Amino acid sequence: MDKYLTNGDRLWSALMEMAEIGATSEDGCRRLSLSDEDRKARDLFAGWCRDAGCRLQVDPFGNMFAIRPGTDPDAPLVLIGSHLDTQPHGGRFDGVLGVLAGLEILRALNDAGIATKHPIAIANWTNEEGVRFKPGLTGSKGFAGVLDRASVQGEAGADYFDELDRIGYAGQRLADFDILAYYELHIEQGPVLETADVAVGIVEGIQGVRWFEVELQGQDAHAGTTPLDSRSDSFMAGAVLASRLRDGALSLDKDIRFTIGRVEVSPNSQNTVPGLTTLHIDLRHGSCAVLDAFEQLMSDTLADVATQEDVQGSIKQTMRVEPVEFDAACQGHLRQAAQATTGTEPVFLPSGAMHDASNLATMVPSAMLFVQSRDGISHNPLEWSEPAHVATACEILAQAVLIHANGPV
Amino acid sequence: MDKYLTNGDRLWSALMEMAEIGATSEDGCRRLSLSDEDRKARDLFAGWCRDAGCRLQVDPFGNMFAIRPGTDPDAPLVLIGSHLDTQPHGGRFDGVLGVLAGLEILRALNDAGIATKHPIAIANWTNEEGVRFKPGLTGSKGFAGVLDRASVQGEAGADYFDELDRIGYAGQRLADFDILAYYELHIEQGPVLETADVAVGIVEGIQGVRWFEVELQGQDAHAGTTPLDSRSDSFMAGAVLASRLRDGALSLDKDIRFTIGRVEVSPNSQNTVPGLTTLHIDLRHGSCAVLDAFEQLMSDTLADVATQEDVQGSIKQTMRVEPVEFDAACQGHLRQAAQATTGTEPVFLPSGAMHDASNLATMVPSAMLFVQSRDGISHNPLEWSEPAHVATACEILAQAVLIHANGPV
């Protein structure tokens, strides 16, 4: 590790020190956005950034920016960001790693006396987790100009902007804040990198998400008196449909995420053939074309199953988030940095979860790097990434940012 | 119809008059066991029986017996029975038809001046429906000596035996009450006879019932980040299992009733691959061998699906009621009577629901006749059987009872 620019041990110490704010039993963290814990975390981070010689700015959404100047006073900045807030039973890595890796990069550049042409800045986006306030990713949405301010709803009557005032992080509209590119390091929250036995992966994009409610309407009937071939059994129709759709997903594209996570069976009585079953489907993929194709498959299969099982079927779309493709040049810088750091060709993967980078990608060239997370667990005190993987990920991020911040070679 | 011994119109009038006691909106009936409505129904029935020249007896379980003497003073009696109590949102036919058809037979024998060698008696069994008191079929269980008196639980603190006293139907242990055979006419409560477009069917037996709880234990996972082939998706495993078991049931025996009526999915969140799914299975068939074979199939299929879907599977049996086979000679008398009455070969079918005849069959040769019920609906104000079908069923029952009550030809 002594060939690294960045210092993994120092980053790890910063992570552990930050984790003491809002620490819960079993190494968890509870640092809800704009709470007193969030204020303490922001203050700690701000102090570290000032110590590293950065100028601090806060925008009207409470997003914090710590800026290390570049050598060209007119050059736009390279931004590294993520979030310091957590879930109610959160862990020590989700979000925090991306912010503190940015800090470690600035500290390492200072130590090595390296100047960059473009300024490098770190962002801490407000309320990524969306726990105290809906919708989530509030800060980065506001920054990207895609937030409907009237739609922001606080828990128990809390007001987002009042709470910003209360904790002292209501800022001003930023002037002269041109961004060249955005990079975000985050834990994977999935099993792909662990299965592939690699420290990091380059994120190709963020999957689009579509939610559906599939209703199967049959006929309640007596479990004892109604022969199998005389039934309109809504649950059996749902089971056949679920199994066929999963097979369809696997043959259509291995990267499709097709989940039936919520099921309602009515009247849900053991000796009654159930007349109504509702399947709540979560569908994700990085490509709209693939999502459209699966949606067509779903509709065709439902029609087929409904006929075969003598039920009425209907599909309603209840949510839709478009996919995001990350910038090819930024991904290229990450790839070059990963090759140099690890000596191997990096893995590319999609992100199944939303991130602040989704919003940044609508404005500026953006990319994400994932670090392996144990058992894919997140939003849980058991969240864990190996120190060696964290160090490698931070170094790759630093090298990619350096390539970008020194302009075209 | 004028070649019939019994009078369908008179039976229909009795049904409609009885239905006025506890009448609810939309032609329903609410006559809970041992309620004031039940007392009124019993009083009306008792009066009709006395008018028909019957002797009345009540046993310690409140079961009522109306006896028309035979010519041989030592001959055991032929019993016709069912129940006058209903479900809370019950109809006008379930149970009542079987009791009042018995009354019509006695009235018709009186009108025609027909004496029988064996006495013929009508039973009104107490608390068949099991609404106010658990377990159901209390009266016939008590009569058959298979009731654990301590197990009888009343709703809202009601005591079965106190309530019998209160309504004046607590009787004595019966002496000299030898039964030659038992016959019960009931609405089908299923679609088989309607589908076959016939008025009646002869019941071969009452299906054995086994309940199972099948637990599929997988692993909660993020719907976006977990590839399909890395999941332990308990609901998908349940869906595949349900569909395979249904196919297995259809190929094993067409009379199997296999129902998954109750399903629990945990955590039941749309964007989480569910870690735990529980399927509550109701399995019925008239033969223990077939039930055993399906149970083996279920266990083998579960093992197979659990391996394929990477989940842990377990099966627990939570209820078991043995099947009942009705007496061949009694079924033969019904068949002969049906051939004579309708001029066609009758349909035979199993009963998927429990009846008082299940308990009588443990004591004496017993059989049941089903009459077509519209849309298979019961326990509902919409319960309906066509007057012509009711008349045919009553006549067949009368002819079968006559064959039996006049001894071997």
Per-residue pLDDT of A40-66, as tens digits, reads: 999 999 999 999 999 999 999 999 999
Residues contacting A378, CB < 8 A, separation 6+ = A91, A93, A94, A187, A189, B222
With an 8 Å Cβ cutoff, are A270 and B249 in contact? no
- Which pLDDT belongs to residue B34? 97
Q: Provide the ipTM.
A: 0.84
With an 8 Å Cβ cutoff, are A270 and B282 in contact? yes
With an 8 Å Cβ cutoff, are B236 and A250 in contact? no
Closest approach of B408 to chain A, Cα-based (Å): 34
Partner-chain residue, chosen from B190, B240, B267, that has the shortest CB–CB distance to A226: B190
With an 8 Å Cβ cutoff, are A261 and B242 in contact? no
With an 8 Å Cβ cutoff, are A261 and B271 in contact? yes
> Model confidence at A409, in pLDDT bands (50, 70, 90)?
very low
Residues of chain B in contact with residue A249, where contact means CB-CB under 8 angstroms, are 228
Q: Are A198 and A269 in contact (CB under 8 A)?
A: no
Residues of chain A in contact with residue B189, where contact means CB-CB under 8 angstroms, are 222, 225
Partner-chain residue, chosen from B189, B242, B258, that has the shortest CB–CB distance to A225: B189
> Model confidence at A26, in pLDDT bands (50, 70, 90)?
confident
Task: Tell me which residue of B256, B263, B244 sits closest to B283, measured CA to CA.
Answer: B256
Residues of chain A in contact with residue B272, where contact means CB-CB under 8 angstroms, are 259, 261
Instruction: Return d(Cα B325, Cα A55) in angstroms, integer.
Output: 89
- Which pLDDT belongs to residue A407? 73
Residues contacting B176, CB < 8 A, separation 6+ = none
Q: B26 φ, ψ to 5°?
A: 60, 35
User: What's the whole-number mean pLDDT along residues B297-321?
Assistant: 97
Task: Tell me which residue of B409, B394, B330, B319 sits closest to B366, measured CA to CA.
Answer: B330
Interface probe, candidates A89, A193, A225, chain B, greatest B C-beta count within 10 A: A225
Q: Which residue has the tokens 């006073």?
A: A73
> In chain B, whose CA is at the least distance from the CA of A379?
B222
Q: Which residue has the tokens 């296999």?
A: B258
Q: What tokens appear for A103 in the block? A: 């800090």
> In chain A, whose CA is at the least distance from the CA of B279?
A270
Interface probe, candidates A195, A212, A253, A270, chain B, greatest B C-beta count within 10 A: A270
With an 8 Å Cβ cutoff, are A191 and B270 in contact? no
With an 8 Å Cβ cutoff, are A188 and B225 in contact? yes
Tell me the residue type at A169.
Y
Residues contacting B317, CB < 8 A, separation 6+ = B210, B211, B212
With an 8 Å Cβ cutoff, are A258 and B228 in contact? yes
Per-residue pLDDT of A136-186, as tens digits, reads: 999 999 999 999 999 999 988 899 999 999 999 999 999 889 999 999 999
Q: Do domains B8-206+323-405 and B208-321 have the same CATH topology?
A: no
With an 8 Å Cβ cutoff, are A228 and B240 in contact? no
> In chain A, whose CA is at the least distance from the CA of B379?
A222
What are the domain boundaries of chain B? 8-206+323-405, 208-321
With an 8 Å Cβ cutoff, are B239 and A236 in contact? no
Residues contacting A106, CB < 8 A, separation 6+ = A49, A52, A54, A66, A68, A120, A122
Q: Is the confidence at residue A1, as pLDDT, over 50?
A: no
CATH 3.30.70.360 is right for the domain spanning A208-321: yes
The strand pair at A312-321 and A208-217 is best described as: antiparallel
User: What's the whole-number mean pLDDT along residues B135-139?
Assistant: 94
Burial tier of B118 (Cβ tally within 10 Å: 0-12, 13-18, 19+): buried
Per-residue pLDDT of B174-206, as tens digits, reads: 988 999 999 999 999 999 999 999 999 999 999
Per-residue pLDDT of B197-252, as tens digits, reads: 999 999 999 999 999 999 999 998 889 989 999 999 999 999 999 999 999 999 99
Closest approach of B379 to chain A, Cα-based (Å): 10
Buried b (16+ CB within 10 A) or exposed e, A314-329: eeeeeeeeebbebbee
With an 8 Å Cβ cutoff, are B230 and A273 in contact? no
Partner-chain residue, chosen from A261, A352, A353, that has the shortest CB–CB distance to B270: A261
CATH tag, A8-206+323-405: 3.40.630.10
Q: Is the confidence at residue A222, as pLDDT, over 90?
A: no
With an 8 Å Cβ cutoff, are A261 and B272 in contact? yes
Residues contacting A250, CB < 8 A, separation 6+ = A256, B228, B229
Per DSSP, the three-state class of B226 is coil
With an 8 Å Cβ cutoff, are A271 and B260 in contact? no
Residues of chain A in contact with residue B229, where contact means CB-CB under 8 angstroms, are 250, 254
A and B: number of Cβ contacts within 8 A: 197
Task: Tell me which residue of A300, A308, A316, A302 sits closest to A232, measured CA to CA.
Answer: A308
With an 8 Å Cβ cutoff, are A225 and B376 in contact? yes
Per-residue pLDDT of B67-102, as tens digits, reads: 999 999 899 999 999 999 999 989 999 999 999 999
Closest approach of B230 to chain A, Cα-based (Å): 8
Closest approach of B115 to chain A, Cα-based (Å): 38
